[in-house]
């Protein structure tokens, strides 16, 4: 049986819908999960969808993905800009990785311009809102060796 796509979400993304709607819109994480599941289902992909506020938990999940997943769609949120541990976990995972951000991080504060995820990512999507997750699912559907 083929392995699922891990869709991992980092800190504060549980607050989507009410958090800075002028930046992140009003779509909730549950809405995003529904969009991801719908597109993945249409592409014949299974999904494990999770959110955590903990850096170590993200590292644990990336390590788990190493043996349990076909790929990782990651919005590491603020840890994108700080976490060498997430960089190293992705490097060790040796899986296809899509980095997704709802907002265009390059049009925001300069501390968001640096990503520790991008060097390990095959695809980087920023600024498309929730649709970025759907595009990333499409990319996995096209590129996974199934």
Question: Which of 6, 87, 101, 133 does the annotation list as catalytic?
Answer: 101
Decide if 24 is catalytic.
yes
Q: Helix, strand or coil for residue 116?
A: coil
CB of 116 to ligand DQA, least distance (A): 12
Residue 88 is assigned to a ligand binding site: yes
- Count of CB atoms situated within 10 Å of the CB of 108: 14
User: How close are the terminal C-alpha atoms of the chain, in Å?
Assistant: 10
As measured in angstroms, the least distance from the Cβ of 52 to ligand DQA is: 13
Closer to ligand DQA by CB, 12 or 118: give it. Answer: 12
Specify the residue, 95 or 102, whose C-beta has the smaller distance to ligand DQA: 102
Tally of CB atoms within 10 A around 39: 19
Q: Are 78 and 12 in contact (CB under 8 A)?
A: yes
Distance of closest approach, residue 21 Cβ to ligand DQA, in angstroms: 13
Bridge partners for 85 per DSSP: none
List residues near ligand DQA by CB under 6 A: 12, 75, 77-78, 80, 101-103, 105, 112
24, 79, 87, 133: the active-site residue:
24
Is 125 in contact with 135 (CB distance < 8 Å)?
A: yes
User: Which structure tokens are listed for 132?
Assistant: 């970025």
Q: Is 101 a catalytic residue?
A: yes
Active site positions, annotated: 24, 101
* Binding-site residue set: 75, 81, 88, 102-103, 112
């Amino acid at each position: 049986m083929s392995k699922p796509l891990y869709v991992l979400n980092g800190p504060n993304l549980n607050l989507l819908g009410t958090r800075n709607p002028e930046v992140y819109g009003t779509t909730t994480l549950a809405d995003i999960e529904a969009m991801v599941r719908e597109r993945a289902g249409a592409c014949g992909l299974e999904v494990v969808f999770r959110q955590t506020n903990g850096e170590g938990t993200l590292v644990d999940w990336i390590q788990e993905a190493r043996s349990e997943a076909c790929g990782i769609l990651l919005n590491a949120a603020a840890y994108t800009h700080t976490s060498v541990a997430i960089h190293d976990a992705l490097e060790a995972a040796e899986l296809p990785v899509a980095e997704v951000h709802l907002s265009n991080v390059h049009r925001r504060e300069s501390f968001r311009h640096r990503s520790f995820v991008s060097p390990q990512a095959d695809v980087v999507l920023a600024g498309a809102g929730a649709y970025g997750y759907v595009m990333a699912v499409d990319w996995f559907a096209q590129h996974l060796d199934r």
